[in-house]
């Protein structure tokens, strides 16, 4: 487990150990808003020599005031987009070392996206929302979640082209009752609290993607309730091209460089 807050992370570790009976659960402390911290985390894991079977990019943030990260980037973008991109790349050696001998046994990366992505196109130029007249954290979050879907697509394509068995998937947990939803979008939470999913329901598809036979999965797909979903709503104008993803990659790569080996 990777957590920013050590005390809360240790509490979570103890709960998982108690609930599962598995004592082989460990904590790494890392602030994913810091590229230096991401680099240290990845270096520490790679130095262990252990393969990495699954990476779940679950860390998320929705702040409504423009706030700089440790590296000076808008912090929603820094955590939701840049950290997921950088950490995945930094851990590629361990991911590619995972799996058995079968063609379907490679590692998998899961991007925990959101249904909020349906509202936004793939923004590849104004990554830090500097052109917004009034900063909107909800809007920026939706853009980040759209970018995560593009990342799942492109990482899967790149790895397949390189002969690697690692694959990436994106998913929407459904609208789930979490502290993040309660504090980040309180109006939505108060209006729909009785209809929100519980934590077990929210994490079901993430766990399923980690355990399902890879031959039954679609690399780069966007999943909800264990089923691939359309990535765009009709007439939404959110569709993008491979060239758009190329531009996203070209923009993110130099920003992520300080976190990479």
- Enumerate the active-site residues: 141
CB 106 within 8 A of CB 165: yes
Taking the C-alpha atoms of residue 65 and residue 76, their distance in angstroms, rounded to an integer, is 10
The CA radius of gyration of the chain, in Å to the nearest whole number, is: 18
**DSSP count for the chain of H helices, then E strands:** 10, 7
Strand partners, 176: 197
Query: Pick from 117, 177, 190: which is nearest to 152 by CA?
Result: 117
DSSP track, 151-203: HHHHHHHHHHHTT---EEEEE---SB--HHHHHHSHHHHHHHGGG-B-HHHHH
DSSP track, 53-116: SEEEE------SS--B-TTSSBHHHIIIIIIHHHHHHHTHHHHHT-S-SSTT---EEEEE--GG
Taking the C-alpha atoms of residue 218 and residue 169, their distance in angstroms, rounded to an integer, is 8
Taking the C-alpha atoms of residue 44 and residue 42, their distance in angstroms, rounded to an integer, is 5
């Amino acid at each position: 487990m990777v957590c920013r807050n050590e005390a809360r992370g240790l509490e979570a570790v103890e709960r998982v150990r108690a609930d599962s009976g598995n004592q082989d659960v460990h904590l790494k402390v890392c602030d994913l808003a810091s590229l230096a911290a991401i680099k240290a985390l990845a270096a520490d894991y790679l130095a262990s020599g252990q393969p990495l079977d699954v990476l779940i990019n679950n860390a998320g943030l929705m702040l409504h005031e423009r706030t700089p990260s440790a590296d000076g980037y808008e912090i929603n973008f820094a955590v939701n987009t840049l950290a997921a991109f950088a950490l995945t790349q930094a851990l590629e050696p361990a991911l590619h070392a995972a799996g058995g001998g079968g063609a379907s046994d490679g590692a998998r990366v899961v991007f925990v996206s959101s249904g909020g992505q349906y509202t936004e196109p793939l923004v590849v130029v104004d990554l830090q929302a500097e052109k917004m007249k009034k900063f909107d954290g909800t809007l920026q979050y939706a853009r980040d979640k759209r970018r995560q879907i593009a990342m799942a697509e492109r990482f899967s394509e790149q790895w397949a082209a390189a002969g690697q068995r690692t694959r990436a998937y994106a998913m929407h947990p459904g609208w789930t009752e979490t502290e993040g939803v309660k504090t980040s979008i309180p109006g939505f939470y108060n209006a729909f609290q009785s209809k929100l999913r519980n934590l077990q329901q929210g994490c079901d598809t993430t766990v399923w993607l980690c355990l399902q036979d890879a031959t039954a999965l679609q690399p780069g797909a966007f999943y909800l309730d264990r089923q691939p979903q359309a990535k765009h709503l009709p007439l939404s104008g959110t569709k993008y091209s491979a060239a758009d993803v190329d531009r996203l990659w070209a923009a993110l790569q130099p920003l992520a460089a300080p976190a990479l080996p």
